[in-house]
Each structure stands twice: as structure tokens, then as C-alpha cells.
């Protein structure tokens, strides 16, 4: 392979769109962050995205062989990984065959996947986690994101909707989840709920200070336990080789990691898997999802020879 090939990786969040070029050595170049308001704020989302990619390719990729574009969406995606089914926080990204439309416009292979699935691929690379066995990723951000790989393959399920851990039903819950159900654990195991606690039960404390000031407050102790319960449930089902913990909440200042680990241990089955839990923390960086998308694109593009 004489000429260096690249995947353009794109990570779409609620606030920012991040993009970059990833080569076969998984190295990132031409990294850029753009506010989503410029792209995702009206109903022409796909057209805007195509224009953004076109500009990026013409400005940053002159003389470079870009052999595919991989995009991580904060969405549910169909089994064939061609259609974005539902994106609660972004307009214009519901039930749309984005791959066909974008491939037609850009004449380049397009690969799409859930954003947390891109993240777990990055975290496995960074943490030197082997493909063999089962790895679970728990990403506590606005909601409760979850990704699972089995022998290096992402678990996607019959309809493409596997690993929706935040939507495990729990008794006696009140309130409407973004998915339309009213009993999802994400209602209390999420960053959204932490913000609610800060605003209502903890004297309007700034969310960035909540763990520093209140890590041993009964309300926060219960919150950490509520996070641990769905995580432990999945661990009890899968008995994973590795457990990745990440997302904005877990990466906050003074997050009580030991408290969370102790609570997960409390709820996991004894003696196994409890005796052999292996926790790895995701390292926070704006680049993770882009490199993860690149890794995904390389795998899809048959350039991944590891």
C-alpha cells in the first residue's frame, strides 16, 4: 500500500460536530470542531451535512486519498446501518436513509453507527483491550449510553437497537422518557437527572461542583447507586472481560469513582462475576469519537489488518 489512505471520521453531538482524518495507523490529522447550530438547526440537515463534508474535503484533503466517511450519530440506527431512525435532540434526523442520499451526493462510501459504538472502539484501542471476549462500555452523559463488543464485533441486534441500557424498565417510576416510555432507568441514571437534583434537591448548586461539595450527601450516594444498578444488571447478564466507564458525568471533577465501583460490586452476583470485575476509565478528549469513527470506517473498508 504505497499511498496513505484516510477515513474521514465525524462525531455528531448535541452541541458540536467534530471531524478529522484517520489513517490506517489510527492517527488523527486535520481535526476540527464546528458548532452544530451551523449545520443541524433547520430541516435541511442532510443537505447541510453534505455541504459541510464537501467543504472539508476540498479545503483539507487536497492530494489525500479519502476512501470513506464514517459518522457517529446520537441516534438509533437501522440494522443495515443505512437509515437514521430517531434522533431525539437534533432536528431533521428522523427516519431518513442518510447513507443512500449522501453516497449519491458525495460519490464516496458512507458508514454510520451509534456514537457510543464509535467511542468503545476508541477506548478499546487506547486501553489496549483485545478483541477477544466481551467488552461493555457505559457512558453516562445526558442519558445512559451503552455499547457492547463480542470478539471485536459490535452487538447491534435484530433491528439495530441493541444495548439500549438506559431504557431498561423499572417499577414505580414516574416521568416521561425521551423514548416515549415512562419507566426507563435513564430517568434517574443520567446526567439529565443529576442536573434536576442540582436544581431542585441540592440548593441550586452548579452541576460542575456537585461531586466536590456533595459526594457524601445521601442524595448523591443514592444517585451513584442508581447508576450502578443497570450497569450491574448488564454485568450479571454478560459476565464481560472488560468494563469501560466514561461519559461526561463520570469525567466530572471529583466524581466518586470508588463509590461507583463499590456500588457495582454490591449489586453484581457473588462470587462471579463480582470477584473478577475489570474497570477501565475512558480518557476524556474531544477527539475520541472522531478516531473511533475512523477505526469503524477502516474496519468497514477492509483496511483494518490488526
Are the C-beta atoms of residues 20 and 29 closer than 8 Å to each other?
Answer: yes
Closest residue by Cα to residue 40 from 76, 82, 93: 93
Residue 152 lies in a domain: yes
275 and 290 in a common domain = no
Where in the sequence is the domain holding 81, given as residue range(s)? 5-118+286-300
CB 34 within 8 A of CB 52: yes
Q: Would 252 be classed as within a structural domain?
A: yes
Please check whether residues 256 and 138 belong to one and the same domain. Answer: yes
Q: Which of 59, 39, 36 is nearest to 49 (CA)?
A: 39
159, part of any domain: yes
- In this structure, the number of other CB atoms found within 10 A of the CB of residue 174 comes to 7
Per-residue pLDDT in tens (0 to 9) along the chain, 306 residues: 447 899 999 999 878 999 999 999 999 999 999 998 878 777 788 899 999 999 999 999 988 999 999 999 999 999 999 999 988 777 778 899 999 999 999 999 999 999 999 999 999 999 999 999 999 999 999 899 999 999 999 999 999 999 999 999 988 888 888 888 899 999 999 999 999 999 999 999 999 999 999 999 999 999 999 999 999 999 999 999 999 999 999 999 999 999 999 999 999 999 999 999 999 999 999 999 999 999 999 999 864 444
The domain that holds 261 is classified in CATH as 3.30.420.40
- What global pTM score does this model have? 0.93
Q: Is residue 293 one of the residues assigned to a domain?
A: yes
Could you tell me if 95 and 89 are in contact, meaning their C-beta atoms sit under 8 angstroms apart? Answer: no
Amino acid at each position: 500500500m504505497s499511498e496513505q489512505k484516510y477515513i474521514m471520521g465525524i462525531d455528531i453531538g448535541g452541541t458540536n460536530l467534530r471531524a478529522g482524518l484517520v489513517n490506517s495507523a489510527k492517527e488523527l490529522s486535520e481535526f476540527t470542531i464546528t458548532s452544530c447550530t451551523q449545520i443541524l438547526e433547520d430541516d435541511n440537515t442532510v443537505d447541510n451535512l453534505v455541504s459541510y463534508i464537501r467543504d472539508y474535503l476540498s479545503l483539507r484533503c487536497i492530494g489525500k486519498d479519502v476512501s470513506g466517511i464514517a459518522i457517529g450519530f446520537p441516534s438509533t440506527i437501522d440494522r443495515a446501518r443505512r437509515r437514521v431512525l430517531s434522533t431525539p435532540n437534533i432536528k431533521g434526523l428522523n427516519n431518513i436513509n442518510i447513507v443512500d442520499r449522501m453516497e449519491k451526493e458525495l460519490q464516496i462510501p458512507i458508514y454510520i453507527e451509534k456514537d457510543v459504538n464509535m467511542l468503545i472502539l476508541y477506548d478499546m484501542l487506547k486501553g489496549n483491550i483485545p478483541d477477544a471476549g466481551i467488552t461493555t462500555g457505559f457512558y453516562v452523559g445526558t442519558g445512559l449510553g451503552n455499547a457492547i463488543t463480542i470478539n471485536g464485533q459490535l452487538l447491534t441486534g435484530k433491528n439495530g437497537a441493541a444495548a439500549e441500557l438506559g431504557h431498561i424498565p423499572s417499577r414505580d417510576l414516574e416521568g416521561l422518557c425521551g423514548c416515549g416510555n415512562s419507566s426507563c432507568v435513564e430517568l434517574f441514571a443520567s446526567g439529565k437527572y443529576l442536573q434536576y437534583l442540582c436544581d431542585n434537591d441540592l440548593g441550586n448548586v452548579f452541576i460542575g461542583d456537585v461531586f466536590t461539595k456533595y459526594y457524601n450527601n445521601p442524595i448523591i450516594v443514592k444517585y451513584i447507586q442508581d447508576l450502578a444498578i443497570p450497569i450491574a444488571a448488564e454485568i450479571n447478564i454478560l459476565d464481560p472481560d472488560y468494563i469501560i466507564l466514561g461519559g461526561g458525568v463520570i469525567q466530572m471533577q471529583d466524581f466518586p469513582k470508588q463509590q461507583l465501583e463499590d456500588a457495582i460490586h454490591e449489586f453484581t452476583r457473588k462470587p462471579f462475576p463480582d470477584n473478577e470485575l475489570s474497570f477501565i476509565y475512558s480518557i476524556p478528549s474531544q477527539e475520541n469519537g472522531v478516531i473511533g469513527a475512523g477505526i469503524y470506517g477502516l474496519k468497514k473498508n477492509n483496511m483494518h489488518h490488526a
